[in-house]
Amino acid sequence: MELNTILLQATTAGLDTGSTGFMLLATSLVMLMTPGLAFFYGGLATRRNILGIMIQSFVSLGWTTVLWIFFGYSLCFSGGEGGIIGNFDKFFLNGVAPDALWSGNGKIPEMVFIAYQMMFAIITPALITGAFVNRVSFKAYMIFLTVWQIMVYYPFVHMIWGGGLLAEWGVLDFAGGIVVHATAGFAALASVFYVGARVNKSSVPNSIPLVAIGSGLLWFGWYGFNAGSEVQVDFITSTAFINTDIAASFATIAWLVVEWIRERKPKFVGLLTGSIAGLATITPCAGFVPVWAAPIIGTAAGLVCYIAVQWKNRMQWDDALDVWGVHGVGGVLGTILLGVFASQVVNPAGADGLIYGGGSFFLKQVVAVVVASVYAFVFTYVMLVIINLITKVKVKPEHEHLGLDEALHGERAYDEGAL
């Protein structure tokens, strides 16, 4: 059969080639965020722990894909309507035909949707690693990576995006304020409480240019993360795209200004951190709020996340790379502000927020994000206790002094004499 005939049949069957092409691009952008995160964390880490933190991101690209294909996608997106978790109907992609369209809109191949959602699953647990940099063994992390996805990430994906309990209750999360950032951020905080502080808490970033490269890749990839969550090309896609950039930009400047005032100097790392705070905070709102709300959300993100990081420092919680203050607080703040600014004029599939008379929707958003955060915190702490019975979670003090690059991986990021 000629190629043109095959394409014609696919189009008449409902395939939207424009949306499919866009979603393939969005999937690639979200995939790029995980290496971007590795560079971001790698630059913030000390010189002896660059590879130790970067491998924790890169290994998720491989291992999370294995889990997702075997049963992750099925547990998230098959069966279990109105429930907490799905079933195994699509175990190892059983029943997913090459020409099957995703039932959510009938416009893109289901295979594309599987790949897109897999990229979210890959980066979410990797976010947590910045909190316990140079303190956790790789063996313990691999168990953590596996169990946390199954018991925390998969249930919340199903409950919100897979037609589960919270979706039926009316909770909204456009691209992951609850599913990704709140759960990962509060899991990070629990990890900090369990593993304790670093031997040397005063360590400084080894490469701020590497942090800049990582944050740039994250910002770039976030367009696919947020705009792609509409899962087709329409006016909501463009709104999500512009809201993402506006909020990130306003958060960047808000963080820069407040830090400049307090410390008398404009800090580059602070500016970069502010951009990530804005991106995390706009994530749940991107396709549900009007454009005029994005500057408010971004400014609030820069200020509130900055205050959270300062409070964390005062409390002496050794969240080394500020995962809780940026992703956890940003995810919670964005979910609550979605409950304030959401408008069905922007997205008929959404809801009206508090300023439009949607008081009940606002309360649902608050309750959902609090429950998700508390569950992620408690489960993560208990899980680490159990993992420690199998293999020691925290590395030996001498390994921490030596650095995990050499102690655990037998490698060095740079040749002797470099940098």
Give the pLDDT band (50/70/90) at residue 11. very low
Please tell me the predicted confidence (pLDDT) of residue 203: 74
Q: Which CATH number belongs to the domain containing residue 67 in this structure?
A: 1.10.3430.10
Give the pLDDT band (50/70/90) at residue 7. very low
Residue 413 lies in a domain: no
Average pLDDT score over residue span 292-306? 98
- Residues whose CB falls within 8 Å of the CB of residue 162, separated by 6 or more in sequence, listed in order: 76, 77, 78, 80, 86
Q: What is the pTM of this model?
A: 0.95
Average pLDDT score over residue span 8-31? 85
Residue 2 lies in a domain: no
Compute how many other C-beta atoms are within 10 angstroms of the C-beta atom of residue 204. 9
Q: pLDDT (tens digit, 9 = 90+) per residue, 135-165?
A: 999 999 999 999 999 999 999 999 999 999 9
Residue 185 lies in a domain: yes
In the chain, the amino acid numbered 281 is: T
Residue 415 lies in a domain: no
Average pLDDT score over residue span 50-70? 98
Average pLDDT score over residue span 355-369? 98
Q: pLDDT (tens digit, 9 = 90+) per residue, 393-419?
A: 999 999 998 999 999 999 999 876 554
- Residues whose CB falls within 8 Å of the CB of residue 180, separated by 6 or more in sequence, listed in order: 120, 123, 124, 127, 283, 327, 331
Mean pLDDT score across all residues of the chain: 95
C-alpha to C-alpha distance for 413 and 299, rounded to whole angstroms: 37
Q: What is the residue range of 65's domain? A: 9-96+107-408
Residue 101, classed as helix, strand or coil, is strand
Number of domains in the chain: 1
Residue 61 lies in a domain: yes
Residue 416 lies in a domain: no
Please tell me the predicted confidence (pLDDT) of residue 393: 97
Please tell me the predicted confidence (pLDDT) of residue 9: 54
% of residues, the chain, pLDDT over 90: 93
Query: Residue 372 pLDDT more than 50?
Result: yes
Assigned token pair, 35: 């290496």
Q: Which of 211, 251, 222, 63 is nearest to 130 (CA)?
A: 211
Q: Give the H/E segment covering residue 24.
A: helix 17-44
Residue 19 lies in a domain: yes
Give the pLDDT band (50/70/90) at residue 201. confident
Residue 69 lies in a domain: yes
